[in-house]
Amino acid sequence: MIVTVTLNPSLDRAVEVDSLTRGEVIRAATAHLDPGGKGVNVSRALLANGVPSVAVLPSGGDEGNQLIRLLEAEGVKVLAVPISGRTRSNITLAEPDGTVTKVNEPGPVMCGAELDEITDGVLDRAGKADWVVLCGSVPPGLPADTYARLCRQLRAAGVRVAVDTSGPALREAALAGATLLKPNREELAEVVGAPLADLGDVVAAAQRLREWGAGTVVASLGPDGAVLVDADGVVTGSCPVERPRSTVGAGDALLAGFLAAGARGAAALAEGLAWGAAAVSLPGSRMPGPADLFRHDVTIHPRPEGRLPLPPSGPC
């Protein structure tokens, strides 16, 4: 069983448009409303593929109630902690060529007492969990080391912890000894303070996170695949998508697949890539099930020799 923690969940409305023109009235082709937030998506992807998971999250206002109803309709087990603020809503505009424009609200301010209640719920369930996954942005009102403090508590209890966040919170999670970190290319470049021009740079940046204290690093590179760096070495892989529809949640699906496959080595990276690519082929923030997976299209590479260039950043 995998416990996910999403401190800043959302309602995600995804709208498909023929083209996005600023200042114009645009007719939507389709629209989807899905539960949102990185950890929420990890739980949804796991459940869609038969892996037990519990999603722990704060819930506030009518939006929070709707989020819980959507998750329960998908069969996701939810531990929702009431908060005084309102759960945020996000909007995604997807164009036919795969271009995605996303508008994210900052989310509600959370207080220490609300965080303590969430922490108690996580620690109560952690003993029966294979992994605890801490995901997403840190809400307004909470310090950047919020995930790091929870990580230390869980690691002290012998629990494996995966963290997918960004900025100072990502650095703090590495310093706290997270078992696994899952940044994308932009998040990895930001945390080490240097551009990542090629795969050699990506590997070096991932190794730096390991030097800070992280165990394993899986860096998702959007259409360029992903890189796994751990104590056993380096593995790279790719899984192209001919007709991308939405990149929202693709990295979350990748993380879910990697964890579901044992979170170690080339086979786990291949499974993660298959899940992530499948998510890109689906509308909105839909999570893939077994029939959607791209396993036959995954290519796994040994450690890259030399310094292989990365193209300009694409969808992640």
Quick: pLDDT tens for 272-310: 999 999 999 998 889 999 999 988 899 998 665 444 445
**Phi and psi, residue 123, nearest 5°:** -65, -30
Q: What percent of the chain has pLDDT over 90?
A: 86
| pLDDT tens digits, one per residue of 48-59 | 999 999 999 999
- Catalytic residue at 198? no
* pLDDT-based confidence at residue 150 (cuts at 50, 70, 90): very high
| In the predicted structure, residue 313 carries a pLDDT above the cut 70 | no
Residues 145-167 have a mean pLDDT of 97
User: 244 vs 192, which has greater pLDDT?
Assistant: 192
Q: Where are the alpha helices (DSSP H) in 7-127?
A: 38-48, 61-73, 112-126
User: 101: Cβ–Cβ under 8 A, 6 or more apart, which residues?
Assistant: 20, 92, 93, 95
Given 34, 145, 201, 252, the catalytic residue: 252
Determine how β-strand 233-238 pairs with β-strand 28-36. unpaired
User: 245: Cβ–Cβ under 8 A, 6 or more apart, which residues?
Assistant: 16, 94, 98, 280, 281, 282, 283
What is the residue whose two structure tokens read 């109630």? Answer: 65
Residues 78-103 have a mean pLDDT of 92
Residues 76-80 have a mean pLDDT of 96
CA distances for 222 relative to 29, 231, 244, angstroms: 25, 24, 11
Handedness of CA 272, 277, 282, 284 (dihedral sign): positive
Reported pTM = 0.91
Enumerate domains of the chain plus CATH numbers. Answer: 2-301 (3.40.1190.20)
Determine how β-strand 77-82 pairs with β-strand 53-59. parallel
| pLDDT tens digits, one per residue of 1-39 | 999 999 999 999 989 999 999 999 999 999 989 999 999
| pLDDT tens digits, one per residue of 245-277 | 888 899 999 999 999 999 999 999 999 999 999
- What whole-number distance in Å separates Cα of residue 314 and Cα of residue 291? 26
pLDDT at 285: 86
| In the predicted structure, residue 124 carries a pLDDT above the cut 50 | yes
Q: Which residues are bridge partners to 292 per DSSP?
A: none
User: 97 vs 10, which has greater pLDDT?
Assistant: 10
